[in-house]
Structure 1
Amino acid sequence: MANAFIPKGQKALIVGAGTAGMSSGITLSQLGVEVDLIDINPHWGALGAGITITGPTLRALKHLGVYDEVAAQAYVGEGIQVCDTQGNPLRTLPTPMPPEEGIGSSGGIMRPALHAIIENKARALGLDIRLGLTVSALDQDEDGVDVTFSDGSRGRYDFVIGADGVFSGVRGLIFPDAPKPEYTGQSAWRLFVERPPEVERRTYFLGGPAKVGLTPVSDTHMYMFLLERTPKVFLKDEELAAELAKKLVGYGGIIQRLADALDKASLINFRPLEAFVLPSPWYKGRVLLIGDASHPTTPQLASGAGMGIEDALVLAEELARSESIEETYARFMGRRIGRCRLVTECSMELGRLEQARAPVESQTAVVERALARLAEPI
């Protein structure tokens, strides 16, 4: 789909080659836009933690054209099992998606696997991804953006997309007074292990001092996550197993078995959670922020990656039907701000409820309400 605004030679720079950035590279290239995609990390690639993928994220991956590859490598299923701290089932939360979508409504995948699938799609379209490079200056006029890169080289683009994450350098250039990421009061643990047959779907263990859960990421593996209230701390790798074991005291069933098996060889990831709310609009002139650069979220609704992919889809749709970049960005904001704010606000609400050890029913009600809204069309 094209219009007079997208002639041959329209050129875009995408800063950040993560999920949102690569997805934007794909959708814009399919419109005929010439895309330069860069990433500051010279050792570019995703870390090894697993991630949860919701039904809306699976739908976005389908629209991106990679659902079949994801489903072949990931866990894709239905529902979320809610248990008490001893593993006794309490209820199963539905994960609604319209049946006509023809996709699963809940899932999980290893982040490097998802990264590789989207990268392969981008490479197949001929995208050139330059690494160890970012931008140091952006100078705009009515017709385009002059970019100075971190290696001293320069380029000119019709528009620029900042997809460079929660600590976005592009955001700092166009909004120097924007809020900075702040610690939410929670930290997240992830433990990567083999998946036993009894783990049939995503599972929460609620009612304890922390929120604990299991997410299958393939037929053979899963990860356990734990969200805890704690002062902001950083731990050495050799400390992780012993510290995680302490957090799991009092849990029974499969969680106790996982705790008992922890040792220094266990694959554990630990990080403090940081977020902020960026006021609207998320653009200035011809430079637009997407993904975590504009609407970072904590992991409670497992929708960060999905929102970034949706950004890419919506941006391309609005670019194809608009008469100017100003109209494109305004229409983009009209479609995205409410949906992205729903994710960030509900995720933060869940974080507060978890830290307050609110009743299970209060926590699951927020999840159900948010998932029902997110199942609606983008």
Structure 2
Amino acid sequence: MGDALVIGAGIGGLTAAAALATRGWTVTVCERAPSVEPVGSGLAIAPNALRALDTIGIGDRLRELAALQGVAGIRRTSGGWLSRTSAEAAQARYGDPIVLLRRATVVELLTGLLPPGALRLNTAVHDVDASSGRVRTDAGELRADLVVAADGIRSAVRRALFPGHPEPVYSGVTAWRFIVPGSGATAAETWGRGLVFGVMPLAGDEVYCYATAAVPSGWGHADPAEEKAELLRRFRTWHAPIPALVERADPARVIRSDVFSMETPLPAFHRGRVALLGDAAHPMTPNLGQGACQAIEDAIVLAHHASDCASVEDGLAAYTRDRLPRTTAIVRRSASITRLTRLTGPATVFARDTVLSLAGLTGPTAALRQADAVFNWRPPTS
């Protein structure tokens, strides 16, 4: 097919490299970090992403790790349910589970699909020429027929291709993430006044926890112990097992980061021989659990069009046509949920919770129906 160079070895970049390699491209992945060991966090692989990963042969290996069973949904801080469904109902509706697992597991599987020598660590990219495919790196100049920029939310390639486009903006919430040992937890998000706490059981008797708070950008503590103390202060009165999970967290492994998104979509996801993918193309809040899933979709669709169209330029134009409308809708929908979780006023929070509760009374499929447009996606076929 030709030479493809992928910038960034995150979930999207590795998926793109694996998908292109399976279609006959000679692939090089440039990663500026010294390793691809990801941060200690969890990841949700939804049915749409599982189908995408089927095309490169690892969907079933992930399905084997599905740990989500029984009731799941949104709870009050007292523990009562606002809205609930079940893992079994989701699998019946979409034909696939939602797999919750360590991000490191997905990275390991994807890295194992790369040809020997394809991954170049400690290799930063400094400049990309969209018309020629020339890429200047720490290791010298490279040239590719296709360049895939998967260089994250602060993508330097995006800024170079679309100078002046609005950068991602602070969503109004900061987030904590950590994994603790344990089993038997019920999958749920608990919503309070400007606060959210998520509990997700993982395979291997572990629980992935995440929390968000509506605070100013840049807020936080430099000392990990103080960061954990902040979590305890905010969530110590919430229903079990939330306080106990926070107590078990290793302060050194609690990750805190502000949440950004880009609701103003790019005019295109490509220019010349360069395609943008994942957070480089459409940064989104995590409220739909679709950040990594949409990057995986991007990668599979990009490999499909770049390989099946008459030219790389035609393939990238088709990629933009496919991906831009879908990801724009998901970015905006996810941001709208973030705005709901940021509410702090007693009256507005009561109204929000009342609407969620009334919707939940219509049955366990009410929450699932809202996800149909996202989860029912299927990868393109030749």
Tell me the TM-score normalised to structure 1 length. 0.87
Deviations 1:260-304 (A, max 9, x none): x35765742211111223422121111110111001111101111
Match of 2:144 in 1: 157
**Matched-pair contact (CA < 8 Å) for 2:46–2:375:** no
Report deviation, 1:56: 2.0
Shift of the 166–367 alpha-carbon distance from structure 1 to 2, 3 Å rule, reads: farther
1:148 aligns with 2:136: yes
User: CA 1:41–1:367 in 2, change beyond 3 Å: closer, same or farther?
Assistant: farther
Aligned residues of 1:52 and 1:215 also touching (Cα < 8 A): no
Match for residue 37 of structure 1 among 23, 26, 29: 29
- For residues 24-47 of structure 1, the C-alpha deviation after alignment (integer angstroms, 9 at most, x for no partner) is 111111111111111111233211
In structure 2, which of residues 89, 93, 96 is the aligned counterpart of residue 103 of structure 1? 96
- Cα 1:230–1:350 change in 2 (3 A) is same
Look up the SS of the partner of 1:272 in the other structure: strand
Match of 1:19 in 2: 11
2:41–2:103 Cα contact (<8 Å) kept: yes
Distance 1:279 1:369, change over 3 A: farther
For residues 137-161 of structure 1, give each alpha carbon's deviation from its aligned partner in whole angstroms, at most 9, with x where no partner exists: 22344xx42222134x112211211
Matched residues in 2 for 1:372 and 1:361: separation? Answer: 23
- The 3 A distance-change label for structure 1 pair 355 and 321 is same
3-state DSSP of counterpart to 1:75: coil
Q: Aligned residue for 2:208?
A: 223
Question: 1:154 & 1:263 partners in 2: Cα distance?
Answer: 45
2:265 pairs with 1:273:
no
Q: CA deviation at 1:208?
A: 4.2
Return the offset for 1:256: 3.2
Any idea what the Cα deviations from partners look like across 1:141-185, whole Å, max 9, x if unmatched? 4xx42222134x112211211011111122122223232222111
Specify the alignment match of 1:360 in structure 2. Answer: 353
Q: Cα distance, 1:204 vs. partner?
A: 1.7
1:133 aligns with 2:123: yes
Residues 43 and 100 of structure 2 are in contact (CA less than 8 Å); yes or no, is this contact kept in structure 1? yes
Offset at 1:195? 2.9
Q: Deviation at 1:71?
A: 3.1
Amino acid at match of 2:225: E
Distance 2:212 2:90 in 1: 27
Is the 2:220–2:227 contact (alpha carbons within 8 Å) kept by the matching residues of 1? no
Identity %: 25
- How far apart are 1:340 and its partner, in Å? 0.9
Residue 110 to residue 264, structure 1, CA distance change in 2 (3 Å): closer
1:1-378 map, 5 Å = 6=1, 10-77=2-69, 80-93=72-85, 102-104=95-97, 106-122=98-114, 125-126=115-116, 128-141=118-131, 144-151=132-139, 153-197=140-184, 199-200=185-186, 202-232=187-217, 233-236=219-222, 237-259=224-246, 261-262=247-248, 265=251, 267-276=253-262, 277-357=264-344, 358=349, 359-360=352-353, 362=355, 368=368, 370-378=370-378
Q: 1:74 to 1:131 in 2, by over 3 A?
A: farther
Q: What is the identity, as a one-letter code, of the residue corresponding to 2:159?
A: G
> SS at the partner of 1:235?
coil
Asked if the contact 1:13/1:160 (under 8 Å) is kept, the reply is yes
Distance 1:282 1:164, change over 3 A: same
Q: Distance between the aligned counterparts of 2:204 and 2:271, measured in 1?
A: 45
- Paired residue secondary structure (1:86): coil
Deviating more after overlay: 295-304 vs 179-188: 179-188
Query: Which whole-Å CA distance do the structure 2 matches of 1:250 and 1:224 have between them?
Result: 17
Tell me the amino acid that sits aligned with residue 162 of structure 2.
Answer: F
Alpha-carbon RMSD across the aligned residues, in angstroms, is 2.6
SS at match of 1:165: coil
Instruction: Give the aligned residue type for 2:50.
Output: L
C-alpha distance in structure 2 between counterparts of 1:127 and 1:162, whole Å: 19
Change (3 A) 1:100 1:265: closer
Q: Structure 2: 5+ residue runs without aligned partners?
A: 360-365
Does the residue aligned with 2:113 lie in a helix, a strand or coil? helix
Change in CA separation of 1:207 and 1:138 when aligned onto 2, cut-off 3 Å: closer
Distance change >3 Å, CA 139–CA 208, structure 1 → 2: closer
User: Aligned AA for 1:184?
Assistant: S
Distance 1:263 1:94 in 2: 27
Following TM superposition, by how much is the alpha carbon of 1:121 offset from its aligned partner in structure 2, in angstroms? 2.0
Per the TM alignment, residue 226 of structure 1 is displaced from its structure 2 partner at its CA by: 1.2
CA distance in 2, matches of 1:60, 1:37: 20
How many residues align structurally? 361
Once the 2 structures are TM-superposed, how far is the Cα of residue 209 of structure 1 from its aligned partner? 4.0
**Equivalent residue for 1:3?**
none
Residue identity opposite 1:231 in structure 2: P
